[in-house]
Structure 1
């Protein structure tokens, strides 16, 4: 995978992905030998500034439209308040269904049912487990101001690790993350969920 599309990708499908999905997307392409697919990613950190996502996706579409037969977008709404969908409608591209990666990893229908049943869960994926300290503890300033912990997490009761891979080290890290933010811990193996089925149709 490269940050931009390559010159030899004519007559293929381009996947524009959130950087938080990069590892999983590349693994799926490799495991399934989907050689017709190209990938380009936008920064995962943009989830902290979701207003950047719609126009970032638009730029990627316009930069690559002439070089690919089809462009598909691996983002949920991701906090853009519908702005991403408006861009995709204007540019003639489609995205995976769901509000965020937790939903399409779990299956949108199943995730929504679980979220309605217990809205006090805080979710992690493989990516978020790997980068928990940088994104959560340091990124939210909890390491410097531990008094912020109840402000951020006081309304949660449980950390749920939605795992894409069955990795014992990541499971241990996720359990440690739950302890750091003083939440109960639950492990759910989802695999790649609807991410895999969406990419599979990208011909």
Structure 2
């Protein structure tokens, strides 16, 4: 006898894990489980779509409904093709900056400052490892201008109001030699999408 399937599953980027759990807990959304892929897949975005496909197919065996909490994330439409082929819905947006800020707000921010480098709570927490050391700047600081010479501003899109993270974001901007801007976004479309997914598994 096969075990009874669970109601719903979110296939998500590991960079969103903390935010997803916060949304689920705050909303009492108990119809959804979460399965995350490693955040470092963003280093090789061409691998994201097929990695998501594998998780979706496995998830369909254990859950009634599966949802994808990934933006396009540099897959060039490959993730949308996988979602269409597998019959699952993903959160709208080109990247997490857009769905945290909201599409219209993000468009306005990027139009006002096209040369912006964006940080989220996750990227602020892991700036040294993922950005600074990830680009080799700890070993080759002379490459800073090669990587960031065309940027003018760090825009911190904050999911939580955390003074310690804001100070870290300011320090990151200073380290990169860029101006700094703070924008509180909350969880944006991530919260709305998760709530809709939970509603769908309950009906």
Shorter chain as denominator, the TM-score bin is over 0.9
Between stretches 150-159 and 113-122, larger displacement belongs to 113-122
Specify the alignment match of 1:34 in structure 2. Answer: 29
Partner SS, residue 103 of structure 1: helix
The counterpart of 2:177, out of the listed 174, 179, 182, is 182
Q: Please state how far the C-alpha of 1:10 moved relative to its aligned partner.
A: 2.0
Structure 2: 5+ residue runs without aligned partners? none
Structure 1 ranges of 4+ moved more than 3 A: none
The counterpart of 1:24, out of the listed 9, 16, 19, is 19
Q: Please state how far the C-alpha of 1:58 moved relative to its aligned partner.
A: 0.4
Q: Distance in 1 between matches of 2:109 and 2:4?
A: 40
TM-score (norm 2): 0.94
Count of matched residue positions in the alignment of Structure 1 and Structure 2: 197
**Bigger RCO of structures 1 and 2 (CA < 8 A, at least 6 apart):** 2
Structure 1: 5+ residue runs without aligned partners? 1-6
Q: Please state how far the C-alpha of 1:110 moved relative to its aligned partner.
A: 1.6
Q: Do 1:9 and 1:38's aligned partners in 2 also have CA atoms closer than 8 Å?
A: no
TM-score (norm 1): 0.94
Matches within 5 A, 1:15-94: 15-94=10-89
Q: Distance in 2 between matches of 1:54 and 1:137?
A: 26
Specify the alignment match of 1:3 in structure 2. Answer: none
1:95 paired to 2:101: no
Q: Distance in 1 between matches of 2:115 and 2:28?
A: 39
